[in-house]
Chain A
């Protein structure tokens, strides 16, 4: 039998340091490994003993692309532990801020990093040469996302205007209203990009995923909801650890998430979309229909389309919030010290992001747990790779390598996020 090794030592167009290893013996797949060698960063450990009010700002440093996911998850969990609520105006502003993160993160990945796979181009520079209007549109959209984060959060990377209980200062009504025309342009631009991307030649691949996401009776979930799944799971956020667990494997510096029964599951745009299709706006559903998508999308390569539909939704939703914006007063609620435990969960661009903290009577963190989306998706990424390799054994090595990288990029994996974790075991013999 002929042994074939498909290996990518440093994956391109993903965040962080990862690798891919596939070993074939003839038609038999002997190993498929998505390796993460980005060093662990111990956030959960070094937060112990810190003031719980620092948790949002500290955890936002886990990622420069999706800091809002960490700020919001940590804020929810700490606010629950300290026993304070906020106001509808604060929650609306938080949702609008989160829309900014979805826009900039999704556009960067879909248009600049993932689209080249479908066009047979090496990178976004090549797209800029062959289709400059596409890249100009994407860059303007991405700037719009950054602008939302700057106006509401104070800056686009690691925002500084957020805090436990709300915001340090509420943005002026005029500044929020001024965003509406560009948001309206953004919704249309995202729709156009979705339809342009719908013309890509998508690999034929379908899988019956276990889709896990937040679910909400009224809203397409971003900051609020219960945890639901396509197989009937419907639990409060606080029950996360009763249904999901994390495991260490030697090939990855990121813990791998699985259901308690050991099965893989999928979080991210496909899961959100499928579990909450009815909560999308009519205009976004129309875009999906024109792009050839039904209410369930099981082809992981079409995640690029769902991301762009979510960009359209985020622009529409931010414009809607901006139109009825009232500056929150007070801008924040004060949290007195008390012992407690809290859970937070939001939809990061890449999927479910869970936070859990236990706090002592002086407001110090006793225990912290953060489960980011890429950790949860790792087993499913490896399962996808196995399926894709099995279906394409006849491909030449270079083509198969390309298809495998493309498969990983379907997830927009954020390896930096996934390696935030707690435990490092050193065996000395």
Chain B
């Protein structure tokens, strides 16, 4: 297990705003952070939970909020509402993975989830406005708050 924070960008890059997670992960990886995309089913997310004591998930949400709205959830402190997250395969997605890990005692010591509201989940490449701006702000904040290759995850973002 690495002590470096692990960033997991969840989603499908071919479904417009659902590709937000991989988009952010790619940007973070380009800056030297330990960041990976995740396009598989939710059960596979549990493997990432074992990879670092500090895991940060980034995913698109579809909750009815304004596009670009940023949410931060602390999975150690609160249950994850399944209805927020668009991504799901066979109805076992991010929320199911987190809650299953909680029941099994497999949550990492720190698990933060960032969700950005999307608006277009149709087939195609690219994020729709204003999602890229919100994602860029999140990337900047994560790095600016100390999310450097050797730094610790910001506690207050």
B44 contact from A123, A136, A156, Cβ within 8 A: A156
Annotate A94-131 by CB proximity to B: 1 below 8 A, 0 otherwise.
00000000000000110011000000000111001100
- Most chain A beta-carbon contacts within 10 A, residue among B39, B44, B89, B90: B90
A6 in the interface (beta carbon within 8 A): no
A375 in the interface (beta carbon within 8 A): no
State the Cβ distance, A152 to closest chain B Cβ, in Å: 16
Contact of A65 with B47 at beta-carbon distance under 8 Å, contacts A108-B41, A125-B99, A157-B39 already known: no
B124 in the interface (beta carbon within 8 A): no
Name the prevailing secondary structure of the B interface residues: mixed
B46 contact from A64, A109, A139, Cβ within 8 A: A139
**B89 and A15 form a contact (CB under 8 A):** yes
Interface size for B (C-beta < 8 A) is 20
**A65 and B100 form a contact (CB under 8 A):** no
Contact of A12 with B91 at beta-carbon distance under 8 Å, contacts A124-B100, A132-B104 already known: yes
State the Cβ distance, A140 to closest chain B Cβ, in Å: 10
Which chain B residues lie closer than 8 Å to A139 at the CB level?
43, 46
Which chain A residues lie closer than 8 Å to B92 at the CB level?
13, 108, 112-113, 124
Annotate A58-87 by CB proximity to B: 1 below 8 A, 0 otherwise.
000100110000000000000000000000
**B104 and A135 form a contact (CB under 8 A):** yes
- Most chain B beta-carbon contacts within 10 A, residue among A13, A112, A132: A112
B91 contact from A14, A64, A129, A136, Cβ within 8 A: A14
B90 contact from A61, A65, A125, Cβ within 8 A: A65
Interface residues of B in 38-97 (CB under 8 A from A): 39-41, 43-44, 46-47, 89-92, 96
State the Cβ distance, B76 to closest chain A Cβ, in Å: 16
> Which single residue of chain A is at the shortest CB-CB distance from B41?
A108
- Most chain B beta-carbon contacts within 10 A, residue among A123, A128, A132: A128
A41 in the interface (beta carbon within 8 A): yes
A13 contact from B41, B91, B100, Cβ within 8 A: B91
**A61 and B41 form a contact (CB under 8 A):** no
**A146 and B44 form a contact (CB under 8 A):** yes
**A123 and B90 form a contact (CB under 8 A):** no
Which chain B residues lie closer than 8 Å to A156 at the CB level?
40, 44
Name the prevailing secondary structure of the A interface residues: helix
Annotate B85-125 by CB proximity to A: 1 below 8 A, 0 otherwise.
00001111000100110011100000000000000000100
B103 contact from A64, A128, A157, Cβ within 8 A: A128
Which chain A residues lie closer than 8 Å to B47 at the CB level?
143, 146
Interface residues of A in 136-182 (CB under 8 A from B): 136, 139, 142-143, 146, 156-158
Given A132-B105, A136-B104, 4 other A-B residues pairs in contact with their CB atoms under 8 A: A64-B40, A64-B89, A124-B100, A139-B43
Interface of B toward A, CB cutoff 8 Å: 12, 14, 39-41, 43-44, 46-47, 89-92, 96, 99-100, 103-105, 123
26 contacts between A and B (CB under 8 A): A12-B91, A13-B92, A61-B14, A64-B12, A64-B41, A64-B89, A65-B41, A65-B89, A109-B90, A112-B43, A113-B91, A124-B92, A125-B96, A125-B99, A125-B100, A128-B99, A129-B103, A132-B103, A132-B105, A135-B103, A135-B104, A142-B44, A143-B47, A146-B47, A157-B39, A157-B40
